[in-house]
Amino acid sequence: MNRNYFHLHLVSDSTGETLIAVSRAVAAQYQGTVSIEHVYPLVRNADQLARVINEIQSAPGIVLYTLVDPTLSDELQSACAEFGAVSMSVLEPIVNLFHSYLGPAQSPRPGAQHTLNSEYFRRIEALNYTMAHDDGQGVDEFESADVVLLGVSRTSKTPTSIYLANRGVKTANLPLVPGAPIPEAIFQLNRPLVVGLLASPERIVQIRENRLLSLNVADNTPYVDRAMVSDEIAQSRRLFNERKWPMIDVTRRSIEETAASIMDLHRLHQMKFLSD
């Protein structure tokens, strides 16, 4: 049956991030069909689950869930079967695979991946560092970064930096501004991976024009001049080539894809840095 939309119920005993990421990745394959998301985080007792079941019953659709408690999981599955909503435990196949290899988990806990452990505090430290070293701030401290991003205005340096920080990667970034000298400290960097971000002139102009429009600023400036933008990008490319810094063209990449490429480059950079 073809549908223009469907209800997607995401039931989690934690934050729901896993369900959101998985479901959106699949839903994106169905162009022309819109998922109406209903997210129910922190469902950990029967009363909370009862409220969720009532909402699912009023708008049946696809139900995905991550519930560690087998009693809650069974109750949700039975309720969905009663009123014709298809349901699936997203983690169960993976849990079964781990179980077959490692044996049963010692202590199944809802939201165990979000405990305040060293990894969590590492991400917080990375985020604090990244916010303090955004847009060229504290350039003399860039040596303590894991990654340094360079690029002309509107090459997604800041959102990419924040995404990397949420993965525990301390990231600094510096805009390349026409006529402005690059701080000498950038050329002295040793520990961080330096990555150049590029995009097509058309893409940069489009983003800059939208930016000026949102600010109610006239668009007859060199900032959005096609020829000058092309020259900016060409100069940045020459710089990256001269310094042998890896380059990533973000024209058709999402922030997530760009960050994944950078993390892979960072892994190789760390291996080389440690072996030297």
Domain boundaries, the chain: 5-114, 118-275
Mark the binding-site residues, compressed into ranges: 151-158
Q: Find the mean pLDDT for residues 214-222.
A: 87
pLDDT over 80 (residue 217): yes
| pLDDT number for residue 80 | 96
Q: What is the pLDDT of residues 35-63, one digit of tens each?
A: 999 999 999 999 999 999 999 999 999 99
pLDDT over 90 (residue 95): no
CATH architecture for residues 5-114 = 3-Layer(aba) Sandwich (3.40)
pLDDT over 80 (residue 240): yes
Q: Report the percentage of the chain scoring pLDDT > 90.
A: 80
Provide the H-helix boundaries in 12-151: 17-27, 46-58, 70-82, 92-102, 118-132
| pLDDT number for residue 49 | 98
pLDDT over 60 (residue 116): no
Give the pLDDT band of residue 261 (cuts 50, 70, 90).
Answer: very high
| pLDDT number for residue 273 | 77
Alpha-carbon distance 145 to 158, whole Å? 14
Write out the two tokens for 152: 């002309």
Q: Report the percentage of the chain scoring pLDDT > 70.
A: 94
Q: Which of 20-24, 114-118, 169-173, 205-209 has the lowest mean pLDDT?
A: 114-118
pLDDT over 70 (residue 114): no
Q: Which helix (H) or strand (E) holds 62?
A: strand 62-66
Q: Find the mean pLDDT for residues 173-184.
A: 97
Q: What angle do CA 161, 123, 27 make, to 5 degrees?
A: 70
Alpha-carbon distance 76 to 92, whole Å? 14
| pLDDT number for residue 112 | 60
| pLDDT number for residue 75 | 97
pLDDT over 60 (residue 106): no
Q: Does the global pTM surpass 0.85?
A: no
In the sheet that 147-151 helps form, which strands lie side by side, from edge to edge?
171-175, 147-151, 193-198, 247-249
pLDDT over 60 (residue 89): yes
Q: What angle do CA 259, 163, 237 make, to 5 degrees?
A: 45
In 3D, which of 95, 99, 165, 104 has the Cα closest to residue 130?
165
| pLDDT number for residue 201 | 97
Is the C-alpha dihedral spanning 214, 254, 171, 236 positive or negative?
Answer: negative
Domains 5-114 and 118-275 share a fold: yes
User: What kind of fold does domain 118-275 have according to CATH?
Assistant: Rossmann fold (3.40.50)
Alpha-carbon distance 136 to 145, whole Å? 12
Mark the binding-site residues for ADP, compressed into ranges: 151-158
| pLDDT number for residue 91 | 87
**CB contact set of 197 (below 8 Å; sequence gap of 6+):** 149, 150, 151, 155, 156, 157, 160, 247, 248, 250, 258
pLDDT over 60 (residue 115): no
Q: Find the mean pLDDT for residues 213-222.
A: 87
Average pLDDT, the chain: 92
- CB atoms under 10 Å from CB of 18, counted, come to 16
Distances (CA, A) of 121 to 18, 116, 169: 20, 7, 12
**CB contact set of 175 (below 8 Å; sequence gap of 6+):** 135, 136, 150, 151, 152, 153, 157
Give the pLDDT band of residue 2 (cuts 50, 70, 90).
Answer: low
In 3D, which of 245, 258, 121 has the Cα closest to residue 187?
245
Give the pLDDT band of residue 256 (cuts 50, 70, 90).
Answer: very high
Alpha-carbon distance 193 to 266, whole Å? 6
In 3D, which of 85, 106, 118 has the Cα closest to residue 6?
85
| pLDDT number for residue 107 | 63
